Structure 1
Amino acid sequence: MRQLAAWKQSAIAFVCGRRSKWVVVGLWLVVLVIAVPLGARLNDAQDNDAQSWLPGSAESTQVLNLSEDFRPEQIPAVVVYARDGGLTAQDRRQISQDTAELRTLHEHGVRGAETRGPVFDRPVAPRAAQVQVPITMDASGWQRISPAVDSIRDRVGDAGAGLAVHITGPGGTSADFAEAFAGIDSTLLFSAMGVVIVMLLLTYRSPVLLFVPLLGVVVSLFTAQALIYLLARHAGLTVNGQSAGILTVLVFGAGTDYALLLVARYREELRRHEDRHEAMRRALNRAGPAVLASGATVVLGMLVLLVAEMNSTRGLGPVAAIGVLVAMMAMLTLFPALLVCLGRWIFWPVIPHAGSADPAERGVWARMGRRIARRPRLVWSVTAAVLAAVSLGLFQLRASGIPNADAFTGRPDSIAGQVVSARYFPAGAGDPLVIVSHAAQAERVGRTVAADPAVVPTSIGVPPGAAPVHDGKVLFEATMRDPADSAAAKATVERVRDAVHAVPGADARVGGGTAALLDMEHAQTHDNLLVIPLVLAVVLLVLGILLRALVAPLLLVGTVVLSLAGALGLSALAFRHVFDYAGEDVAFPLFVFVFLVALGIDYNIFLTTRVREEAIRRGTRPGVVTALSATGAVITSAGLVLAGTFAALGTLPMVGFAEIGFAVALGVLLDTFVVRSVLVTALFLDVGRKVWWPHRLAHRDGAPVPERSEVSRSGG
């Protein structure tokens, strides 16, 4: 223990030493020079194919792997033509000409020679036609699908007056998702940066100081991206568009939070010490453990995602953990070294001089603490009751998936085409069931599939002679009558699976887009039940080690869970009655939980570590009031920054991201202004020294809560 303390003091002395601080800055400069070109290549290392998202053991994933023996992984783009009064002779000539052009297309993975169609909605006086164009997929995923669909669009002739032409189906929808993800890194980077600049300017009231933490988080982001790129290229780490986008938000939010906490403590110490190096040494010594505990909580919480079945969720864990770990390291080394190098003038125009008064001692948070101290039990009871009441909004939550038609904040071409296609053709056309079975039983399996009333019988291509055969297995497809992303289609998949699994000797498996959605829902339900308790256990363990107590961590975890329920309840009400969203993604509750519990506990850590520090000197109850007055402003600022950076997800034109951003931002604000400042403060004041049980602090008599003059003299 003494060796650990000695190592800690040596590390702090090195970071803020008179000469060694320049070494720290120089080392990070070298890291930045190396990291920038590597981090810029992270997009090239992304794996956005289906396997990087689906649960690894799911039946749909097995079919996807087996289908590669018959053909490369494909996704069909569907060109839909329609005219309300019926297709004219000119329309039909145009469609035939377009189809001939598409059959010659072989770029960006488009397999033009395998184009199917045109298929008309009826043999006489048709009103609509469809042409299916398969696109080969690879690890580049969305990076390939968008130019492929663009090349198809270029080969489709200009529609005549009144003739509607759309590119839809899985290929068209995926291309629109790719367009929505295009530039996600730069969009989130500049949105998060804008939020951070505004909030830091309001917090510090210094046009110069704000650039120091901003520089720290930018260096952290580039460094994290470089590390993740290297791990993706050489260690098999899975990175996709979702995890890369969330990485930006996490690094900016967490890094800025750590910077705010450290600056607040550094400013306190500058008012007590003439030497800025000594002030930073004391600030790091006192604020460092809180930052370490906060970072450890987030990192361990993110690593828990490695137990998830969903590949996309499991891949997010290490990506997010690396981002937060790098941000924490930069804010404990580069950031303080830069502050000491620059000197006191960086705080201009409000420069903290030695001996000057701390305005927090007589501020709004000190007054709030004294008011809560008068009747703490009433305060926490009412606050908890209000949070429990808004939690009832959880009954409005519809986390069963978002249909493609409602997945965008706008209305892209693929969605318009999906509506037109469903008007004239089976709604599942273009996204069929994919069945693999033993060739000897293929005909029987085909009849079994065709017997389902929600399957179009004429859509089934059953060998033995017609379908490809590989290693004694055969692959064929079937079209469903319902939209591929509907609940009815998922029910069809379950019925068909039950039926073909019962065919003796067939070893049949059912996959396809709808089957993948169904498997993802089942996997996400499993992940929710497994990951959520594990994250809570990790948070409880870290708090117990940090505070050396049991009662306090249990209280803190309870308040965060109550805050989470309140945030989800309010969000569900907003989604239903304000934004009119159709539903939430299946992963929505888990992502919001992980981010809110892992990040939201930060503010409780910042507050309670200061409470413990003050309790050792003057007793628990007065320590609570002093800690609230000292940390209130900085934690509020940190909460606003983190909420703002997650709200930046709303700049993306996808409902799923907008919902996660809104819910996390709302939860962070609840943690900041209600849970930490009111509920936790009141609970600690009511329980008193027993909150530290079984530590010896639980047996120490506390002093009475000080009046204003006593708080002013205490030095906060």
Structure 2
Amino acid sequence: MAGMRNRTGLLIAVAVVLGWLVIGGVSGPYSGKLGQVATNDNASFLPSDAEATKAQTLAKGFVEQPTTPALVVYERTSGITEADKQKAAADAVKFGQIPGVVSPLPPPVPSADNQALQLIVPISDAEGDQIRAVVDKIRTDAQADAGGLTVHVAGPAGLLADLVEVFSSIDGPLLLVTLFVVLVILLIVYRSPVLWIIPLLAAGMSYSLAALAVYFMADSGIIQLNGQAQGILTVLVFGAGTDYALLMIARYREELHHHIRPVDAMRAAWRGAVPAILASGSTVIAGLLCLLLSSLNSNRALGPVSALGIGATLVVMLTFLPALLVLGGRWAFWPKVPRDDDAEAIGRLWHPTARFVGRHSRLVWALTTLGLLALALGLTQQGESKLAQTELFIQRTDSVAGQGVITKHYPGGQGSPANIFVTAGAAQQVTAAVKGIQGVADVKPLTAAGPGGAAPGGQQPGGSQPGGSSPGGQQPGGQQPGGQQPGGQQPGGQDGTPLPPKVVDGRVQLQATLTDPADSSAAEETVRKIREVTHAVPGANAVVGGFSAIDLDTADASTRDRNVIIPVVLAVILVILALLLRSLLAPILLVLTVVLSFLATLGLCFILFRHGFGYPGSDASFPLFAFVFLVALGIDYNIFLMSRVREESLKRGTRSGVLRGLVVTGGVITSAGVVLAATFSALTILPLVVLVELGVAVAVGVLLDTIVVRTLLVPALAFDLGRKIWWPSALSRTDKNLDGESRDRATHEQ
């Protein structure tokens, strides 16, 4: 009977592996096609009730065709020559002939110091790849025959083109780096020429399945995929998948010491590991889906994409991986083949740690808590809470260099005004009120079309918002159809008289040029003051938008998201832990330890970012993203530990169970933490500050959770509390005889 059961198990394993290989053959190619359904364009990312969104809607009535402006800037520090002006004028004609450019172009605008020329090139609103192609052509043509001129293409279109170029390279380099990192760590962990293949093959299958699901859901419009979510999906699937594989393999190796047949060992390992893996995956999925509560589309896009990745990983790791392990048998672990006579050798390196925690539990948890609180003091080093456009990239891109030239030679807010939409009757009163605000250089109305066509410069160069392109919600612009006149001058008719304001549905558009750069915190505060003043004008029905207004509303939305989503994530995790551990006190303590670890991680990271990397600040959405990933992933290690502790406590008492659980899970959880930290650190190869910060934060936080929280703080707390940790379950009462409430006995057993 046993032999028949063994053969049946082997046949099932063969069928499962063959079935997954077929699925992998179908889904594999889609991992390289995700870029085809990623939308790094100017889709709206703010909620519809945001004031900047309402301004975007009103602005569409003031132009015939919405555009995304590229700002071509020419610089000669010795002074712009007549030949330079002729080249810029000739370029304007040349650019107007490029498909996708809306012509005629307004004339180049000289700077006050006569060291620069700025040419606005409006590009028809399109997807990011199309805008990138137009910008590449503009850059090639502009730099031809420069004759000593320094030429850059900046503005929203230039920035979007650079972002698209970054995200278009995600699939290849990031995937290769992640695979290499996981491979190296698996070789170190297992020291086997064979075993590393199994978890890596399973992780690759997880990514293929996730890519297939994400591709079709994004292609059908059910979910939105952007470059940020695409990059995080790669490291998340490989990191979490390898973690789950390590846990399953460790439990399988352990059971091979107690069972002769690999099929029987896998049955026992599967029953023992599945609750923890399911609870871990469910926690991560639930935490990620809480991002759907975000008011920012860029945040909401990340939640379901990442949740799909974890869901696919769970399916693969609970089916394909066990089947591979069964077929590999004991010899997959060669040269260290597990035998049934050395079970006690498992975790032998962790016995000293367990004895130390048992003998000094109160001192251990007190000191580790104080240490984490000390690291949390680094939160005072956060610095600025926003990154300017020129600070998004690690490297100096062409758009960043161009923006630097514009900032150097032109007034801070020129080219990116605050757009104020008011009733025509209140326009003069609003204009007077806004001119009196400190931080406002000038206020002028958008004029009606004069003889011969539309007023020049109908598109303000504050530009199109590539929604979702910039990670974390920091967005490089905002679609502002109907913009500033070149040089801030009002176009006139043929006799030189000023043209009247353009009136659309009883409203006029006022453009307030700010004294500070549009992507600065000072400009946001000025916009806040403009809103206060204009909203107070009776009958004006003022709506204030523009580049700085979009940044302001994004920051406000990010604050709202943190206040809403963080408590929900904590509540969801608490419920899952309570169901898994059948306790209330243990889940509360575990959540508190993870929150403390999160605060310590942020504190340490802000010190690193400011004094180590030299970053001026972080994105407004960085704390929320860091929280979701750190708490959802960091709680995994507590789940792995405490689910085993509960299992052992039922057999030997809580205090002995705590130390035994620490011993048998110590190696695998440490390995899992190192793998996850290393895979997320692969994000640092991307030249975007916000992704580098997220990768570093998750890596640092996971290592803190693995080495400090899971190894010292949680076991010490659980040991010190004893059976009370399981309150109010029956284990908190019936555990007394087993536990004997003896610290010495529990410590001696290890």
CA distance in structure 1 between the partners assigned to 2:671 and 2:66 by the alignment? 49
Q: Which moved more, 1:299-308 or 1:463-472?
A: 463-472
Q: Deviations along 1:614-659, whole A, 9 cap, x unmatched?
A: 1000001111111111000000000000000111111111111111
> Size of the alignment, in residue pairs?
692
Structure 1's 448 and 148: CA in aligned 2 closer, same or farther, altered over 3 A? farther
Question: What is the match of residue 271 of structure 1?
Answer: 257
Q: Is the CA contact 1:188–1:648 (under 8 Å) kept in the aligned structure 2?
A: yes
Pairing partner for 2:682 from 648, 672, 676: 648
Question: What is the match of residue 57 of structure 2?
Answer: 65
Q: Which moved more, 1:646-655 or 1:51-60?
A: 51-60
Q: Which moved more, 1:180-189 or 1:500-509?
A: 500-509
Determine helix, strand or coil for the equivalent of 2:662. Answer: helix
Q: Is the CA contact 1:16–1:340 (under 8 Å) kept in the aligned structure 2?
A: no
Q: Given residue 417 of structure 2, which amino acid in structure 1 is its aligned partner? A: P
CA distance in structure 2 between the partners assigned to 1:471 and 1:36 by the alignment? 54
Q: Which moved more, 1:432-441 or 1:255-264?
A: 432-441
Counterpart mapping for 1:282-681 below 5 A: 282-361=268-347, 363-398=348-383, 400-438=385-423, 445=430, 449-450=434-435, 452-457=437-442, 460-463=445-448, 470-475=504-509, 477-681=511-715
Q: Which moved more, 1:402-411 or 1:633-642?
A: 402-411
CA distance in structure 1 between the partners assigned to 2:43 and 2:88 by the alignment? 35
CA distance in structure 2 between the partners assigned to 1:320 and 1:103 by the alignment? 42
CA distance in structure 2 between the partners assigned to 1:82 and 1:64 by the alignment? 32
Q: Deviations along 1:537-571, whole A, 9 cap, x unmatched?
A: 11111000000001111111111111111111111
Structure 1's 71 and 26: CA in aligned 2 closer, same or farther, altered over 3 A? farther
Kindly state the Cα deviation for residue 440 of structure 1 after the two structures are TM-superposed. Answer: 5.7
Kindly state the Cα deviation for residue 213 of structure 1 after the two structures are TM-superposed. Answer: 1.2
Question: What is the match of residue 164 of structure 2?
Answer: 178
Structure 1's 443 and 529: CA in aligned 2 closer, same or farther, altered over 3 A? same
Calculate the aligned-residue CA RMSD, in Å: 2.4
Q: Given residue 382 of structure 2, which amino acid in structure 1 is its aligned partner? A: L
Question: What is the match of residue 102 of structure 1?
Answer: 95
Q: Which moved more, 1:561-570 or 1:505-514?
A: 505-514
Pairing partner for 1:48 from 25, 30, 40: 40
Determine helix, strand or coil for the equivalent of 1:149. Answer: helix
Q: Deviations along 1:201-255, whole A, 9 cap, x unmatched?
A: 1111112211211111111112112212222232531221111111111111111
Q: Given residue 343 of structure 1, which amino acid in structure 2 is its aligned partner? A: G
Kindly state the Cα deviation for residue 298 of structure 1 after the two structures are TM-superposed. Answer: 0.5
CA distance in structure 2 between the partners assigned to 1:215 and 1:433 by the alignment? 53
Q: Given residue 529 of structure 1, which amino acid in structure 2 is its aligned partner? A: N
CA distance in structure 2 between the partners assigned to 1:268 and 1:643 by the alignment? 25
Q: Given residue 117 of structure 1, which amino acid in structure 2 is its aligned partner? A: P
CA distance in structure 2 between the partners assigned to 1:707 and 1:206 by the alignment? 37
CA distance in structure 2 between the partners assigned to 1:167 and 1:390 by the alignment? 43
Q: Deviations along 1:341-400, whole A, 9 cap, x unmatched?
A: 222222122111333344334x22111101111121011101101111111011111362
Q: Given residue 90 of structure 2, which amino acid in structure 1 is its aligned partner? A: Q
Q: Is the CA contact 2:70–2:135 (under 8 Å) kept in the aligned structure 1?
A: yes
Q: Which moved more, 1:176-185 or 1:15-24?
A: 15-24
CA distance in structure 2 between the partners assigned to 1:476 and 1:183 by the alignment? 41
Q: Is the CA contact 2:359–2:747 (under 8 Å) kept in the aligned structure 1?
A: no
Q: Normalised by the size of structure 2, how large is the TM-score?
A: 0.88
Kindly state the Cα deviation for residue 481 of structure 1 after the two structures are TM-superposed. Answer: 2.6
Q: Given residue 631 of structure 1, which amino acid in structure 2 is its aligned partner? A: T
Any unmatched runs of 5+ in structure 1?
A: 1-12
Question: What is the match of residue 134 of structure 2?
Answer: 148
CA distance in structure 2 between the partners assigned to 1:441 and 1:154 by the alignment? 46
Q: Given residue 425 of structure 1, which amino acid in structure 2 is its aligned partner? A: Y
CA distance in structure 1 between the partners assigned to 2:268 and 2:143 by the alignment? 71
Question: What is the match of residue 105 of structure 2?
Answer: 115
Structure 1's 157 and 316: CA in aligned 2 closer, same or farther, altered over 3 A? closer
Q: Which moved more, 1:658-667 or 1:97-106?
A: 97-106
Kindly state the Cα deviation for residue 50 of structure 1 after the two structures are TM-superposed. Answer: 3.8
Q: Deviations along 1:687-710, whole A, 9 cap, x unmatched?
A: 001101111111122044577997
CA distance in structure 1 between the partners assigned to 2:394 and 2:6 by the alignment? 50
CA distance in structure 2 between the partners assigned to 1:623 and 1:709 by the alignment? 10
Question: What is the match of residue 255 of structure 1?
Answer: 241
CA distance in structure 1 between the partners assigned to 2:77 and 2:412 by the alignment? 18
Q: Which moved more, 1:86-95 or 1:233-242?
A: 233-242
Q: Is the CA contact 2:659–2:747 (under 8 Å) kept in the aligned structure 1?
A: no
Question: What is the match of residue 462 of structure 2?
Answer: none
Q: Is the CA contact 1:446–1:462 (under 8 Å) kept in the aligned structure 2?
A: no
Structure 1's 514 and 244: CA in aligned 2 closer, same or farther, altered over 3 A? same
Kindly state the Cα deviation for residue 180 of structure 1 after the two structures are TM-superposed. Answer: 2.3
Question: What is the match of residue 458 of structure 2?
Answer: none
CA distance in structure 1 between the partners assigned to 2:181 and 2:289 by the alignment? 27
Percent sequence identity over matched residues? Answer: 46
Q: Is the CA contact 1:501–1:507 (under 8 Å) kept in the aligned structure 2?
A: yes
Structure 1's 495 and 671: CA in aligned 2 closer, same or farther, altered over 3 A? same
CA distance in structure 2 between the partners assigned to 1:558 and 1:114 by the alignment? 62
Structure 1's 534 and 478: CA in aligned 2 closer, same or farther, altered over 3 A? same
Structure 1's 360 and 391: CA in aligned 2 closer, same or farther, altered over 3 A? same
Kindly state the Cα deviation for residue 430 of structure 1 after the two structures are TM-superposed. Answer: 3.2
Q: Given residue 88 of structure 1, which amino acid in structure 2 is its aligned partner? A: T
CA distance in structure 2 between the partners assigned to 1:615 and 1:149 by the alignment? 65
Determine helix, strand or coil for the equivalent of 1:648. Answer: helix
Q: Given residue 522 of structure 2, which amino acid in structure 1 is its aligned partner? A: A
Structure 1's 407 and 14: CA in aligned 2 closer, same or farther, altered over 3 A? farther
